[in-house]
Chain A
């Protein structure tokens, strides 16, 4: 790094997703001089259709073409936009299950990871982003998932979302509203409190200089430096460890990526399924080991789900409104790795799924198919190449016991655990409050901190821990 620092601040937040946005907001509202360096752009509401190819190009990292190599490969998506993943996900909110927190306390020595310690932060986040249930019945596809679960005696729940319902309804009578994503909430508050949000700014590496940090960033194609007293890496479970490793910080960094591998099923029903938007119900009977939910089922998504069923596409295309998309996700182990690639600006992500997890995925798929037939589906299309669609419950037993690595299509939108927190330095990269062990003035505040796959949508946990850790940072006066 040759040039003198051009930008200075007290607190540098790298990334503006749920972890970064809340960190920047709280710091700025306490009067700290904050810069948020966000790699993606910032777009006005309505700049693209949700879940569309326009959104892929605009808001997804690498246009959505990101994959964890392994057998099988697992496609994943990350937001690369002001507001991060909160701008592109469906806004489902969970608190962390007590059992998960207990595991983290026991296996990683995480302090204060208990309901008493986290509940106040969860409550504050829920208030700030308006976590709520729907004021009307959910969409038909979502209700069918719940009905199928009820028929089998399985536990299902409506998952609250961070959304502000505005009194309008779609043609099917389902309440509509505006998701309270980071750009509408914490990021907007951070800006109002004086934080400088620099979009198109990619942090390349961090260097300890004096008693602070200098971040080398590429901003609008130009290399620039940002000097800060404290740096918060909030670039997500892939790019935070990538940044830290590129900065020579590697102890327990990027070697324990976990995720929720997910397999999808398209279901055809005798009548139209109404709104194609994602559902709000999840089946938690087998949680946290596996969960089932309802996904987006617009025409492009339906046709994509039929990529392995070319002979059936023309027929289904005529009745795509009868289709709904569902998923079975399992809690994968922390077997993934993130490493820099020489002469490349992108990380190499590898994830080796274990045979036991392929067994879990297959079991989840069978259970989900059984549920969907109970819910009235007349034809199912699991995302496994070389299969014929299932047309009766009797065929479910014929699904494989292990998801075939060479024919199954897996994906995930939940990645975490690449810089786990805890006091046990043998396994943890950061302490219980996100400070990188042995590296003063540097914290991690994103999904990388979560010690293991939580089995639930992780954004609520990310925000709660980021809030707790930022409050701790402020109270400790680590300026």
Chain B
């Protein structure tokens, strides 16, 4: 189950990265293993009750791929994108929240990659 959730999470991160890259973000080019590792690390450090909720929701998301014949992480990019868009616009708040959560973390991680990180020295 844990492996399944991890695979789903990695596939979600890759899909978000692919989407950003396709839109022209040079910093968002694959591979996205670093993004998935960051997101997994963040989820792992979340409070226990959030971590459990996120794990369950991610697993449910992964299983939803079965309507297309395979779990989410085994689907092709187009089917993945469609499933994620469906969840992003779902009438269920929990589904939207899950996608927003992953979108947010991936965006922060993608645009924190060294090539684009601001180099200015800030007063802290």
Contact = CB atoms under 8 A, between A and B. Distances in A.
Given A52-B112, A300-B112, A346-B47, A163 B123 contact: yes
Contacts of A177: 123
A303 B111 contact: yes
A420 to B, nearest CB: 24
Interface string B22-50: 01110000000000001001110111111
Given A65-B43, A299-B118, A345-B48, 20 more contacts: A49-B117, A51-B122, A52-B117, A56-B42, A62-B45, A65-B42, A65-B45, A65-B46, A174-B123, A175-B123, A178-B124, A299-B111, A300-B111, A303-B108, A303-B110, A303-B111, A306-B107, A341-B48, A346-B48, A346-B49
A314 B27 CA distance: 11
B63 interface: no
A208 interface: no
Interface string A140-175: 000000000000000000000001010000110011
A275 B122 CA distance: 8
The interface centre, meaning the residue of B41, B116, B124 with most chain A CB atoms within 10 A of its CB, is: B124
Interface in A265-320: 275-277, 298-304, 306-308, 310, 313-314, 317
Contacts of B57: none
Contacts of B107: 300, 303-304, 306-307
B118 A170 contact: no
Interface of B: 19-20, 23-25, 38, 41-43, 45-50, 93, 96-97, 100, 103-104, 107-112, 116-118, 120-124
Nearest to B110: A303
Contacts of B112: 52-53, 299-300
B49 to A, nearest CB: 5
Is chain A's binding surface mostly helix, strand, loop or mixed? mixed
Contacts of B111: 299-300, 302-303, 317
A64 to B, nearest CB: 8
A314 B110 CA distance: 13
A310 B116 CA distance: 19
B46 to A, nearest CB: 4
B41 A341 contact: no
Interface of A: 49-53, 56-57, 62-67, 73, 91, 163, 165, 170-171, 174-179, 275-277, 298-304, 306-308, 310, 313-314, 317, 341, 344-348, 385, 406
Contacts of B118: 276, 298-299
A65 B50 contact: yes
11 contacts: A62-B47, A63-B41, A63-B42, A63-B46, A65-B43, A65-B45, A165-B123, A300-B109, A314-B24, A317-B24, A317-B25
B71 to A, nearest CB: 25
B44 to A, nearest CB: 8
Contacts of B122: 50-51, 170, 176, 275-277
Contacts of B110: 303
Nearest to A163: B123
Nearest to B24: A314
A300 B115 CA distance: 12
A175 B43 CA distance: 37
Contacts of A276: 118, 120, 122
B124 A50 contact: yes
Contact of A304 (B97, B104, B121, B124): B104
A165 B123 CA distance: 8
B45 A171 contact: no
Contact of B120 (A52, A63, A275, A310): A275
Nearest to B119: A49
B116 A170 contact: no
A347 B123 CA distance: 33
A467 to B, nearest CB: 24
